[in-house]
């Protein structure tokens, strides 16, 4: 009797897992089709068609065992229309940062940092490709693309 109840519950759990996988796949498809807008020429491009650049910055060696490795920095992409590099920043304007810093809690700052993290986590794998470039090797001309209106779903 108890075994039968456990079997039923396991079946329900399996159905929920199936449903969750379906929803996750739908979310991925939706995210891939979202567009980024170039801050230089205003062209929209779908995430699935963009080669994203993962910038890398170096922690130099210190002592015997520390440092000597590369860290993930920003996500950038080069607009295929105007060839200008867009830095995806999720940062606020200088004025907004000054306003937020007046408030010791700075919830906005926290939320924006979190948004950048979420974007990297959820969207980075969905770009056409990921190209690692060390920050000293980045191509010269760029624009800051503050992704303030981008809804991380
Ligand atoms: Zn452009």
Tens-digit pLDDT profile for residues 74-129: 999 999 999 999 999 876 666 666 665 665 566 666 666 677 888 999 999 999 99
Distance (Å) from CA 77 to ligand 1 centroid: 10
How much is the pLDDT for 12?
A: 97
How much is the pLDDT for 139?
A: 83
Pairing relationship of beta strands 129-134 and 85-88 according to DSSP bridges: unpaired
Distance (Å) from CA 85 to ligand 1 centroid: 8
- Rounded distance between C-alpha atoms, residue 86 and residue 47, angstroms: 13
Kindly list the distances between the CA atom of residue 116 and the CA atoms of 10, 62, 73, 122, in Å, as whole numbers in the listed order: 37, 29, 11, 10
Helix 107-123 and helix 94-102, axial crossing angle in degrees, nearest 10: 130
Distance (Å) from CA 37 to ligand 1 centroid: 8
Mean pLDDT value of segment 23-41: 96
Distance (Å) from CA 140 to ligand 1 centroid: 15
CB-CB neighbours of 118 under 10 Å: 13
Distance (Å) from CA 131 to ligand 1 centroid: 19
Quick check: 56 and 72 in contact, CB under 8 A?
Answer: yes
Distance (Å) from CA 84 to ligand 1 centroid: 6
């Amino acid at each position: 009797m108890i075994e039968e109840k456990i079997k039923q519950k396991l079946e329900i759990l399996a159905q929920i897992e199936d449903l969750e996988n379906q929803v996750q796949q739908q979310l991925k498809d939706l995210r891939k089709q979202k567009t980024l807008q170039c801050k230089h020429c205003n062209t929209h491009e779908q995430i699935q068609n963009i080669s994203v650049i993962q910038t890398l910055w170096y922690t130099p060696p210190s002592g015997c065992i520390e440092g000597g490795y590369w860290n993930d920095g920003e996500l950038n992409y080069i607009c295929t229309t105007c060839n200008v590099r867009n830095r995806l920043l999720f940062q606020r304007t200088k004025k907004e940062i000054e306003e937020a810093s007046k408030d010791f809690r700075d919830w906005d700052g926290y939320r924006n940092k979190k948004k950048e993290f979420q974007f990297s986590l959820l969207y980075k794998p969905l770009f056409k490709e990921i190209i690692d470039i060390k920050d000293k090797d980045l191509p010269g001309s760029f624009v800051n693309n503050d992704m303030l209106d981008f809804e991380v779903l």
